[in-house]
């Protein structure tokens, strides 16, 4: 580790940070609407983004600083098992091709801003809508915290903030400044800010990965040397492998599948999706987003390179920033650090907006102030987006970083339990609302208790996301096991409740709503009673 400050890298980092700050504030003037006081404008960018803006926004949303740091860190620490992120991002795009266009259409038709809006409208259940909203907020909070952890990792490697004995305020001041700037331009510009900044972020990441995948292996003597050094390290440490062991194949497969099912259940993924201007934009994006999977596969190889370069860190999350520090000239290390730092700002902004929209539409408006005006909704959402970021900052500053990572893993287990209500609801009205709520509760309870019982060398509880699958005996992803239980309970109870003729709620959607596009006659947005006046 570098004990001093890397002045050149820090200067380059600051230049890029200032540039995206200016872009963030200027975004409030980009495609400005006549009436900015609505969640459609502040929280969804006016639902006006085309193919490339949406592509960059979704890429900036899904491939975060945590991805940049954690995926190769997993390879560095555990070997090829960390590559599960590559197949899951390949699996996810055919999956979302089947349901995201339907979600966009019905949301555009009825003015839905969140997934909970759709669930409430489809099943006529505020209780189920509330469950989906609370799950989304809980799952998003640690995800935002991890973006700040990514920034902190870069600052640590650059030597900014002093050592462990430094006054806490001085040590965390750079992170506090970055947080303040993020909060300010998100409040001012809404979703337009991360949409514009995503262009810079993704361009930087592609440049850094392209250079790293060519330059670093040349310096290390080629890929033969890289893989050879990694194999030697895993053999000596008796941990990890270049090829996943047979005993870990169930874990690998279930984690990849479960993660693919969960990815577009996160509120920030849906927020970026609903910001697009047409159904066709979503369909095109599902065909070009796999370009990011190619980038992710190359990114993961950096974990092997860190081993071959002799990077020694106590926290694997620092391995890739330290690799850049050691291998690149200082000026390009600054570019790489800026890519990671900006890679944290974009998703953190979208995540805080998404969480705020959920609170505003599905807690504040549904339960606290049903007659809230569009202006009031927008004001509340702006304030809640600040509170969400403050909560994430407190989480990072007061808790151990491994706790943040483990809570993010728990968030993945939780968010997967909303899949039956959202995706199931997009294709069928057969599921009973009370059965969906019961299935969600069972999945949440099992997933939380199972994760609580997982220990690691450093933690007694919440030490991982894999455990023995009941009835099979193999180790698998807890989230997927909980999801199977969720679906089983939902199906069984639906049969029971329908037999008992339990009230099924009112469906405010029609079959034609799920295939409607922006230019279709009569798709000017129908406002349901629960959301009247809050969209246009």
Percent of the chain with pLDDT over 70: 92
Residue 532 has pLDDT above 50, yes or no: no
Burial of 154 (0-12, 13-18, 19+ CB in 10 A): buried
User: How far is CA 531 from each of CA 54, 102, 114, 275, 363, rounded to the nearest angstrom?
Assistant: 25, 20, 11, 18, 12
Percent of the chain with pLDDT over 90: 50
Predicted local confidence at residue 164, as pLDDT: 54
Predicted local confidence at residue 527, as pLDDT: 42
DSSP 367: I
Residue 364 has pLDDT above 60, yes or no: yes
Burial of 529 (0-12, 13-18, 19+ CB in 10 A): exposed
CA gap 153, 160 in Å, rounded: 10
pLDDT 10s digits, 461-505 = 787 888 999 988 899 999 999 999 999 999 999 999 999 999 999
Structure-model confidence comparison of residues 531 and 41, the more confident one: 41
- The tokens for 145 are 């915290």
User: How far is CA 178 from each of CA 106, 152, 403, 505, rounded to the nearest angstrom?
Assistant: 37, 10, 22, 46
Give the residue-averaged pLDDT of 62-82: 83
Confidence of residue 533 (pLDDT cuts 50, 70, 90): very low
Residue 221 has pLDDT above 90, yes or no: yes
Confidence of residue 528 (pLDDT cuts 50, 70, 90): very low
Residue 34 has pLDDT above 80, yes or no: no
Confidence of residue 189 (pLDDT cuts 50, 70, 90): confident
Q: What residues form DSSP beta bridges with 468? A: 475
Segments in 265-329 forming alpha helices (H): 267-274, 279-288, 291-300, 302-308, 319-327
Three-state SS sequence of 312-350: CCCCHHHHHHHHHHHHCCHHHHHHHHHHHHHHHHHHHHH
DSSP string, 13-66: HHHHHHHHHHHHHHGGGTT--S---SHHHHTTGGG-B-HHHHHHHHHHHHS-HH
Predicted local confidence at residue 74, as pLDDT: 85
pLDDT 10s digits, 409-430 = 889 999 999 999 999 999 999 9
Predicted local confidence at residue 524, as pLDDT: 47
Give the residue-averaged pLDDT of 71-84: 85
> Closest by alpha carbon to 126, among 305, 462, 365?
365
Residue 383 Ramachandran class (φ > 0 left, ψ -120 to 50 alpha, else beta)? alpha
Q: Are 361 and 39 in contact (CB under 8 A)?
A: yes
Confidence of residue 170 (pLDDT cuts 50, 70, 90): low
**Whole-model pTM?**
0.90
Three-state SS sequence of 369-391: CCCCCHHHHHHHHHHHHHHHHHH
- The tokens for 360 are 């505003």
Identify the helix (H) or strand (E) that includes residue 10.
helix 7-26
pLDDT 10s digits, 116-158 = 999 999 999 999 999 999 999 999 988 888 888 888 888 888 8
Confidence of residue 226 (pLDDT cuts 50, 70, 90): very high
Exposure letters 309-326 (e unless 16+ CB within 10 A, then b): bebebeebbbbbbbbbbb
Give 528's contacts (C-beta < 8 A, 6+ positions apart).
110, 111, 121, 508
Predicted local confidence at residue 455, as pLDDT: 82
- The pLDDT mean for the chain works out to 87
Predicted local confidence at residue 3, as pLDDT: 58
CA gap 401, 146 in Å, rounded: 8
Give the residue-averaged pLDDT of 16-41: 82
Give the residue-averaged pLDDT of 358-381: 94
DSSP 469: P
pLDDT 10s digits, 171-182 = 677 788 888 888
Give the residue-averaged pLDDT of 230-257: 82
Count, in order, helices (H) and strands (E) of the chain.
23, 2
Residue entry with tokens 């339907």: 102
Predicted local confidence at residue 5, as pLDDT: 80
- The tokens for 253 are 């497969």
Range ranked top by mean pLDDT from 269-283, 306-320, 424-438: 424-438
> Which stretch of 119-123, 164-168, 439-443 has the lowest confidence by average pLDDT?
164-168
CA gap 245, 431 in Å, rounded: 40
In this structure, what is the dihedral angle of CA atoms 303, 307, 308, 310, given to the nearest 10 degrees?
Answer: 130
């Amino acid at each position: 580790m570098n004990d001093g400050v890397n002045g050149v890298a820090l200067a380059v980092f600051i230049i890029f940070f200032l540039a995206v700050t200016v872009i963030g504030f200027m975004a409030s003037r980009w495609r400005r609407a006549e009436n900015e006081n609505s969640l459609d404008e502040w929280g969804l960018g006016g639902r006006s983004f085309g193919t490339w803006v949406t592509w960059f926004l979704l890429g900036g949303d899904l491939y975060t600083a945590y991805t940049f740091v954690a995926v190769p860190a997993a390879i560095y620490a555990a070997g090829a098992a960390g590559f599960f992120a590559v197949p899951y991002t390949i699996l996810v795009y055919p999956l979302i091709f089947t349901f995201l266009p339907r979600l966009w259409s019905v949301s555009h038709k009825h003015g839905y801003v969140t997934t909970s809006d759709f669930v409430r409208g489809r099943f006529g259940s505020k209780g189920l809508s509330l469950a989906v909203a609370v799950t989304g907020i809980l799952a998003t909070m640690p995800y935002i915290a991890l973006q700040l952890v990514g920034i902190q990792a870069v600052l640590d490697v650059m030597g900014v903030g002093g050592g462990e004995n430094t006054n806490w305020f001085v040590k965390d001041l750079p992170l506090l400044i970055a947080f303040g700037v993020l909060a300010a331009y998100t409040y001012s510009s809404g979703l337009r800010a991360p949409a514009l900044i995503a262009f810079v972020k993704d361009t930087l990441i592609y440049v850094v990965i392209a250079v790293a995948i060519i330059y670093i292996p040349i310096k290390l003597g080629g890929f033969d040397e890289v893989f050879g050094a990694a194999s030697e390290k895993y053999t000596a440490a008796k941990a990890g492998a270049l090829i996943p062991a047979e005993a870990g194949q169930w874990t690998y497969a279930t984690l990849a599948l479960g993660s693919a099912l969960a990815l577009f259940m996160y509120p920030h993924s849906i927020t970026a999706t609903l910001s697009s201007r047409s159904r066709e934009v979503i369909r095109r994006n599902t065909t070009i987003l796999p370009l990011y999977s190619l980038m992710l596969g190359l990114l993961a190889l950096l974990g092997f390179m860190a081993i071959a370069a002799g990077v020694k860190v106590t926290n694997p999350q620092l391995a890739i920033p330290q690799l850049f520090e050691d291998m690149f000239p200082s000026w390009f290390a600054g570019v790489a650090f800026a890519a990671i730092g900006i890679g944290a700002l974009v998703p953190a902004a979208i995540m805080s907006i998404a969480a705020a929209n959920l609170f505003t539409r599905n807690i504040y408006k549904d339960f606290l102030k049903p007659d809230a005006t569009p202006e009031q909704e927008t004001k509340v959402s702006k304030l809640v987006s600040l509170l969400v970021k403050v909560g994430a900052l407190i989480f990072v500053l007061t808790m151990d970083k491994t706790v943040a990572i483990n809570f993010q893993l728990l968030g993945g287990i939780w968010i997967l339990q909303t899949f039956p209500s959202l995706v199931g609801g997009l294709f069928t009205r057969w599921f009973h609302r009370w059965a969906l709520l019961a299935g969600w509760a069972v999945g949440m309870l099992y997933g939380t208790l199972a994760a609580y019982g997982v220990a690691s060398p450093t933690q007694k509880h919440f030490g991982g996301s894999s455990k023995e699958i009941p009835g099979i005996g193999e180790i698998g992803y807890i989230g997927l096991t909980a999801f199977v239980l969720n679906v089983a309970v939902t199906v069984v109870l639906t049969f029971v409740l329908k037999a008992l003729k339990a009230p099924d709620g009112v469906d405010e959607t029609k079959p034609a709503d799920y295939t409607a596009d922006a230019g279709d006659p009569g798709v000017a947005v129908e406002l349901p009673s629960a959301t009247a006046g809050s969209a246009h």
